[in-house]
Structures are given as structure tokens and as C-alpha cells.
Structure 1
Amino acid sequence: MENKVEGILPRSKWKKVAYGGMQRGYDDNYTDDSFLEDMVMNANVVKRDMTKVMRDSVSITQYLCIVALVVCVWTYTLWSIIDETSLLLLDVGLLVLGFLVLLLTAQKLSLQLLSKYLINISFFMSGLYILAPIYYTLTTSISSDSIWALTVSLLIVHLFLHDYSGSTIRPPGALNNPTLTSNISLNASIVASVLVASRLPSRLHVFTTMLFSLQVFLFAPLVMHCIKKYSFKLHLLFSFVLMIVTLCIIFPLHRLLFVLFFGLLVFITFVCPYWLIKIQEYKFEINGPWDEAKLCFDITE
């Protein structure tokens, strides 16, 4: 005959209760051995490859070289090493080269879209030429030290907020809108160009320098994006050539600046990816039944 103790009922099997209070016979902080069966470790941790991270870092060093080339052209123009005629020829050459690259690499670039771009650029250049006298006298009451400090600050903001992944770059025919940070980055580069142009000796200098700066800051990311989409090997080759050209131009400008810039390129391309891979070893993530519940709605007609 089975013995039963009066007043004591057998405990029911423990189960997780989200809303329903305590289960009878168990403490409110009790957890069963089966509670950790659904535990998952490092489910969302991305395994990164050193080679892939280094290849992704090329986009950053590439754009750093582009901005460095713009600064070098500004410097040589302020020192009267580059005259307005040479700079105008450089502007035309860059414009033709950019459209040639787009024609060869962009898949959705039609003649109609190309003619639309040319018309918009002609209006843009006409407006820039008309506004050149205003830019020429825009900062006459501001000291040069303030202009250079503000220009450097704006370029740092531009580099810090620039979209290096290319996710906000609109290829020909696309309708996606840029983000707030990319707009701030672009506006910072334009304001920096205006500040530098206001210190040039003539209105034609202002026009050619502004045209060069805006071509690079507005047009270069699109061209680089199209090259990368067309062929990644071509993208790597172009980036390597761009780094060599940039270093060769910086070297006669200032030796210490050459060493610092070369060290920055090495740091971004090799040291930063190595750090990222090493830090991933210490990343530890635990997921389980204690995480916040995700509601799933099954809508049936």
C-alpha cells in the first residue's frame, strides 16, 4: 500500500514561466538543469579574415591619398607653383578621365544619362564662375591663421564622417538618398575648399581651384565606387598607383610630412587589421532563454 503524507503534494515538473507568478513547490529564483540547454555561445560573432580586412582597409587609404592630393594642389597653388592655366587643364583632364571611367565601368550609364550629367556640369561650372568674385573676397576680414585652423578642422570632420564603404554613393541611375553624416562630410569639404580659395591671388585661381576641389570631393567617390564594382583587382591596382603618386608628390613638399603620411598608410593597411583580428579573440557572447523575447506574428487571411 502506497504511503501518502497528508498535506504534502508532489511537485509538478518545472517549466519557464514568463507571466504567471511563482510555480508551486519552487523558489522564485529556481532554475532547472535544462535551463542552459539552449545556451549558445558566440552566435553573432563574425569570424574575420586578415586578408579580407586588409583589402577592405584599402578603401580608406585610397581616399586618404585623394584628400592628400587635394591638399597638395592647394599648397602648390598658394605657393604659385601651379598657375591658373595649368590647373584649368588639370580640371578638364580629370573631368574627361572621370567620364571615360564611368563609360567603361558603369553598367547603367546610357548616353541620355551622360548628356544629362554634362548639362548639369555645364550649369554648375557657369554658376561657379559667376560666384568666383564672391569667394575671392569672402574672408578678407578673417586672419589667415583662423582660416588654416578652420580648414584643417573641416578636413578632419570630412575624413571622419566620410562613407568609406560606399553604401551611400549613388551609382548612375540609382535613387537612394545619402545619410546625414555623408551630407555633413561633403559640406565640410566644400566649406574647406571655399576657405582655401578665398586666399588665392586672382579670381581665375579661385574658379579653377574650386572646380578642382568639387570635382574631387563630388566626383571621385563615384568613380572609385564604379571601379571597385567593375573589378576589385583593378581597384587594388589603382589604389596602389595612387599611393605611390601621392607619396612622390608629398616628398618634395616636406620630408617629415612624407614620413608621417607613409606611416599612417602602413598603420591603417596593416596594423589596424591585425589589431582587429587579435581583439576578436577576446570577444565572448552568450545567448540563451534569458534573452529578450522576440515576438513573431503569424498573419493569415
Structure 2
Amino acid sequence: MPSTSSGLITAHSSASSPAPNPDRLAPDDAYYETTPRRAREQSLLGLGADGVGLSARKRKEKDRTRSASRRRKGHYKKLLWFKQPFPDNYTDEETFLDHMKRNPRLQPYEFWSLMADATVIVQHIASVAIFCCCFVDIAQARVSPVSVVSWASLCTVLGWVLWDYWMAQEEADIVSAATKADEDTASRSSDSSQRLATAKSALLIYAALLGLSPILKSLTKSTTSDSIWAISTWLLCMNVAFFDYGGGTGSHLPASISTNSALMASTVLASRLPSTTHVFSLTLFSIEVFGLFPIFRRHLRSMSWVGHMTLTIALIISACGGVSVTLTGGGRGAWVGGVVLGGCVTFLAMGICSWWLIGLQKYKNEIHGPWDPARPIIRRRWD
């Protein structure tokens, strides 16, 4: 009879107590792994050695474990700024590799787009070749230095006029806040001031070169010619290597290292010419080729693709023909042969390099995982 009453009391107390919530942890859930399983389960249930209610507790434990594992897989987020029931170094092994990405920002190259981009490199190398040919012909008295710098100055003035027209169009498109009359007045005043500043700069450069020509002529008198050829070769190679081939229309000047190395090369080469007129002509020609011409090429490429390709073809013809005539000392036949041979070699080199870059893309292996640092998006213009 006492056992029956104790059993009734136990059943009544278990029925009156609320059912445990499987989503919450109780203080009794903390136990040592070394505790025997039967004794641990009995202590959690508050039962004696007879094991009454053990099967029900087992079912609840299984349900809670199953729901916890389900909750762990479904609600885990790779964020550290809010509290989660997981340690900071937790890794979901079943879904971690699913977020791995290989080359997510890969843009496959296209052959003709690479060929079009290679024209920028061809233009600059052709410009360097034309400068070298002009120096050799001036040093060997084949052409007059005044004629070289005169034609170059004429082309520079025409290019500046075209560039000024482009700048006026861009300013007219940007200015829109004032009335039409105010816009026209402001545009005319800004254009006139810019033209005046350009004219002042040109006169200053012209006068400075006239004054420095005698000094530049005797600058490297104590240096042997072999050293001059080696120094100028390395400086021109630096100009080609460090030139900003990807600069947009916003770049007002080419890379400083490239421009400075080219001007230094022209200075040491001009010191080997016979007169101050030769020195002045070659130095001014180098400023026009390496300082002003790259700016015009950038704007021409952004404004007119047909004009860009036409300029590229003209530079290839001039450079290939000039190199052939300079090396062989021939006339029209050497010019034509150099243009044909040089044009074929240039086109093949552009095609081979483009295919080579396309083939190298298969070796690109950039893996981005879920814990990689975020890349900030920088806004170029604020609205």
C-alpha cells in the first residue's frame, strides 16, 4: 500500500509539472560524459533504480537531439555581430564547401577585343621607332632638323585644335545649371582663358629650349658615345615598359617615369648633335612626341574608333618604312618592302600575343570562400 501511494504521488507530481521545452536548455542538461548512461538518465528523470519512465525520457532526448541538429543546420549564419548558439570558430562541414567559388570575377578574353586593345601598345612603340629614325637621319645629315620639327609642330597645332574642339563639346554638355545665355558667356570666357594659358606655356617652353640648347649641347661632352647609346637605349626601354597604356581620357599626362625617361633619352642623344639648332629641334620634337602626342591619342580613341584605327595604320606605315630606310639606306623600294614586311610582322605579333593571353586564362585559379574579406565598393562620384 505505501508503494502504491508513492507511485500515485510521483505520477501526480509529473503530471502537474509543465512539459520541458525542447528549444531551451535546462540546468540538468549539463553533465559529464564519464557519468554512466543509466545513472545519468535516472538522475535527469528523478527515478529510482527500478527505471520507471525510462522509455519516455529516451524518446524526448532523441526528439530534442534531432530538433537541435535540425536547428543547427538550418539557422546557422556566417555572421559574428549577433549571438548564435555556436562557437566563433564553428564550421558547418556539410555546407562550407558549397559556398566556395572559383574565379567569380573571371571575364573570358575575346580575340578581336584583345587585338583592338593591342593597338595602343603598337601606337606607342611606333612613335618611339619614328623618333629614333628621325634622330639617326638628323645625325647623318639625311634630313634637315628644321623640317622635322616644323612638320611635327604643324601636326601638333592641328591636333591641339581638334583637342580644343573636343574639350569645348564636353564643357558644353556638362554645363547645365545656368541659363542659356549665361552658359554661352561662361563657356566662351573659359575657352579663351584656356587657350591663352596654352599659348603662354608653349612660348615659355620655346624660350626655355632656346636658352638651354647651348648647355645641352655640351652636357655630355666628357662621356663616350658608347655610353650615350647604352643609356639612351635603356631609357627608351623604360619609356615603353612604364607607359600608361590603360589610361583613360581623364589622364592629363602620361606616367611620370615613362615621360621623364624619354625626355632624358632625347637630352643625352641631342648632346651628340653638331649644332644648337639640331639640339633645339630634337628636344622640341621629343616633347611633342612623348609629352603631347599620348594625350591626343587617348582622346582620339575615346572620341572616334575609326580615327584611332586610321592613326594606328599611319603610325605602322611610317615606323616600318622609316626603320627600313634607316637601316638599309635605300629609297622607295626599301620603304615599300619595310612597310609590307613590318605590317605583316606587327599583325602576326598582335595575333600571337592575343592567343597566348587567351590560353593563359585556363591557369587562373582564384578561390573565394565564405570567410574572405569583403571588398568595399568605392563610389567615384557622389550624387
Q: TM-score range by the shorter chain?
A: 0.7 to 0.9
**Quick one: structure 1 residues 209 and 234, their matched pair in 2 at CA, closer, same or farther if it must change by over 3 Å?**
same
> Are residues 1:242 and 2:351 paired?
no
Task: Give the letter aligned to residue 39 of structure 1.
Answer: M
The question of 1:143 aligning with 2:228 is answered no
Q: Contact (CA 8 Å) 1:45, 1:285: kept in 2 or not? A: no
What residue number does 2:40 align with? none
For residue 128 of structure 1, what is the amino acid of its counterpart? L
8 Å Cα contact 2:101/2:368 also seen in 1: yes
Alignment match of 1:279 (pick from 360, 363, 372): 360
Give the aligned length. Answer: 284
CA distance in 1, matches of 2:250, 2:373: 36
Q: Structure 2 stretches of 5 or more lacking a match?
A: 1-54, 172-190, 329-333, 378-383
**2:218 is equivalent to residue 157 of structure 1:** no
Flag the structure with larger Rg: 2
Q: 1:50 aligns with which of 111, 114, 117?
A: 111
8 Å CA contact retained: 1:84, 1:208: yes
In the alignment, what sits opposite 1:89? 150
TM-score scaled by structure 1? 0.82
Q: Are residues 1:189 and 2:250 paired?
A: no
RCO comparison, higher one (Cα < 8 Å, 6+): 1
1:174 counterpart residue number: none
Q: Deviations over 1:236-275 (max 9, x none)?
A: 121012101211111122269x699667633552111111
More displaced 10-residue stretch of structure 1: 92-101 or 106-115: 106-115
Q: TM-score, structure 2 length as denominator?
A: 0.65
Q: Which residue is 1:75 aligned to?
A: 136
RMSD across aligned C-alpha pairs, in angstroms? 3.3
- Structure 1 unaligned blocks of 5 or more: 172-177, 297-301
Taking only the aligned residue pairs, the percentage that are identical comes to: 28
Question: Higher helix fraction: Structure 1 or Structure 2?
Answer: 2
Match 1:61 to one of 94, 116, 122: 122
Q: CA deviation at 1:76?
A: 0.5
Partners of 1:168 and 1:190 in 2: CA distance: 23
Moved more, 62-71 or 42-51: 42-51
Question: CA separation in 2, counterparts of 1:103 and 1:210?
Answer: 24
Deviating beyond 6 angstroms after TM superposition, the runs of 4 or more aligned structure 1 residues are 16-20
Distance in 2 of aligned mates of 1:49 and 1:254: 37
Q: Which residue number corresponds to residue 128 of structure 1?
A: 209
One-letter amino acid of the counterpart of residue 134, structure 1: I
